[in-house]
Copies of this chain bind each other. A is one copy, B any other.
Amino acid sequence: MNTGQQEILGALHNCIVTCNECFDACLSEHHVSSMAECIRLDRDCSEICSLLVQAISRNSSNIDVLARSCVEICERCADECSKHDHDHCKKCAEACNECAKVCRKLIA
C-alpha cells in the first residue's frame, strides 16, 4: 500500500468516525427535527465510506465506481452539515469535504 492510498484510507476512516459522532450528537440535540436530514446523511456517508475502505484495501476492480458515489455523498453530507452551527456538524462538514477531496483522486 502506497502513501496515496494510506492518505485516502485515513481520510475515509476519519469521515466514518466523524459522521457517526455527528449522528449520535444530532440525536441528542434539543431540536432533533431540524437535524433529521443531517442524521440521514451522516448514516449514508459513513456507510459508503466503509464500503470504499474495504474495496480499496482488497484492491477491488470497482474502486472508481464506488469512489464516484462516495464523493457525491460526502459532498451532500458536507453541504447539509455546513448549514448547522453545532460543533459536531462543523467538524463533520470538514471531514466530509476532506474525504471528498482525496477520494476524487480515485476516479479515473
A residues with CB within 8 A of B: 1, 9, 13, 16-17, 20-21, 23-24, 27-28, 30, 32-33, 36-37, 39-41, 43-44, 46-48, 50-51, 53-55, 57-62, 65-66, 68-69, 72-73, 76
Contact = CB atoms under 8 A, between A and B. Distances in A.
Q: Is the interface of A mostly helix, strand, loop or mixed?
A: helix
Contact of A27 (B21, B36, B47, B72): B36
Contacts of A30: 33
Copies of this chain in the oligomer: 4
Contact of A47 (B23, B51, B59, B65): B51
A24 B37 CA distance: 10
A20 B58 contact: yes
A47 B54 contact: yes
7 contacts: A16-B54, A20-B58, A23-B58, A32-B36, A40-B61, A50-B54, A65-B73
Of A1, A21, A48, chain B has the most CB atoms within 10 Å of the CB of A48
